[in-house]
Structure 1
Amino acid sequence: MERKEPSFTRDEAIEFVMREYGEMLKRMIYTYVKNHHTTDDLFQEVLLLVYRKWDRFDGRSQLKTWVMRIAINRCKDFLRSPFQRMKLMKDQWLEQTDPKQLEDVVLQKEQWEEIAEAILNMPVKYREVMILTFHQHLTQKEIAEVTGIPLSTVKTRKQRAREMLKEKLIEGEWTLE
């Protein structure tokens, strides 16, 4: 079981983590994000977090498990971000589309990108309701329970968010259902 050595400096710790656990960490991060560029970015963030938090490692656990926990938490934080959720939802939706209708897929992708951008540019209170509705498929009652706001407020925010979307997208040739 590895323990923090008193003479193990931050720089030495980072070198050790990269040498001993680097490839394993990258593979593990990739299983969460399934994108090589994102994996590289998150790996660098994990190394930075290990460097910053080195003085908090007390040796009660193995260095390997401590570093892995940091990496897993960073991946989960990344996947929970509203922008990432919208991107994943769009990608999943496009994968389910019949590839024979390429022109329709491209048009739908452009429309989806407009919707996603409009939602992401909304104030947080409206964005939250739209993401919980369309990504998490929660009912208005469930959204009220999850967020701790009254059901009437959820209904109002959802209606206002839809109106905002319509205003932003009114120039397009399609409508929201």
Structure 2
Amino acid sequence: MGHSKLEVEAGFYDIVETYLNDIRKVIFTYVKDYHMVEDITQEVFLTVFHKLKDFRGESSMKTWILKIAINKSKDYLKSWNYRKVQLTSWLKEEPGANEVERTVMNKLQNHELAETIMKLPLKYREVVILYYYHDFDTNEISFLLNLNVNTVKTRLLRSKDLLKRRFDFNE
């Protein structure tokens, strides 16, 4: 027996309300641009809306949606639009571009650590954020990023080493 259109829409809005902030945080860790976070978030939920009927429950709803968000973020980082924005920003510094990043970072418990994490290469930053800030285990991260579990563990260890070294140099 199928669900009515109103039931489907109500269920979708519950999903948006439940996962919106998590999705925004994950996307920001990739793109570091508040305006793009909103655009990509809309793309993520549009995809979720269209593919919700295909969700088979092989992972949690949160894991499934975060995987979509990560893939959309990575697609954006590979796009010509992103490269063009980066080049334009480099040629003429936009006032306030770092202001948004600073605001987000101030909300994290340890400002210095958060800044250092955001400076890590993406492959290390993403596992740190998912593991420590979103409490995913290595198996879930493996699924989200389409990586071998051992690769995830290696990247976590490597990121810890990088963070330790950066803090040692700062003291």
- Give TM-score, length-normalised by structure 1: 0.45
Normalising by structure 2, report the TM-score: 0.46
Q: Which has the higher helix share?
A: 2
Larger radius of gyration: 1
